[in-house]
Structure 1
Amino acid sequence: MFAVQLTLLDVSAAPPGEAGPSDVQDALWASAGPGDGLEHVRARTVPGGVGLVLYVRASDREAAELRAHALLDRALADGPVGRFAVAAPP
């Protein structure tokens, strides 16, 4: 299992606070399937967005990062968490 750290930045023009860490975490679990290897999620508020650590089961770090990004792309595609975009590691 690998820990993949990411920062999501709020790229919307909407007022802050309409979607936060718990919404992102819920969207990730709702989007996750067995092939994603998601074991655990930690989400917290950081300046300008949400800091994430996704614990992903994979054969190596590169595979874990690819799985995490694919999952995030799906989770951020719709709903209130669509206001976020992946920035960089925190």
Structure 2
Amino acid sequence: MFAVHLTLLDLSTSPTGEAGAADVQGTLWARAVPGDGLEHTRARAVPGGIGLVLYVRAPDQEAAELRAHALLDRALAHGPARRYAVAAAP
């Protein structure tokens, strides 16, 4: 299992809080499929967005990052998570 660290930038004008982090986690789990290898998530509000760690089952770090980004692409296209975009590693 590999940890993939990301920061999600809040594109809206509304303040981000722990509720936003919970929304993102919920959306990730709702959009995850077995092939994503998602084992655990950690999300917390940070200035301007959400700090996110996805723990992904994969053969190596590169594969874990590809799986995490594929899942994020799906998750950020729906529901309350649409207000975020992947910014960079924290």
Q: Does TM, normalized by the shorter one, top 0.5?
A: yes
- RMSD of aligned residue pairs (Cα, Å): 1.2
What SS is found at the alignment partner of 2:88? coil
Aligned-pair identity in percent equals: 75
In the TM superposition, residue 12 of structure 1 has moved relative to its aligned partner by 2.1
Is 1:89 the counterpart of 2:89? The answer is yes
What SS is found at the alignment partner of 2:66? helix
In the TM superposition, residue 75 of structure 1 has moved relative to its aligned partner by 0.4
**Unpaired segments of 5 or more residues in structure 2?**
none
Rounded to whole Å, the distance in 2 between the matches of 1:71 and 1:23 is: 15
1:3-82 pair list within 5 angstroms: 3-13=3-13, 15-17=14-16, 20-82=20-82
In the TM superposition, residue 17 of structure 1 has moved relative to its aligned partner by 4.0
What TM-score do you get using the length of structure 1 for normalisation?
0.94
Q: Which has the higher helix share?
A: 2
Q: List per-residue Cα deviations over 1:9-67 (Å, max 9, x = no partner).
A: 00123x22486100000000000000000000000000000000000000000000000
Deviating beyond 2 angstroms after TM superposition, the runs of 4 or more aligned structure 1 residues are: none
What TM-score do you get using the length of structure 2 for normalisation?
0.94
**Unpaired segments of 5 or more residues in structure 1?**
none
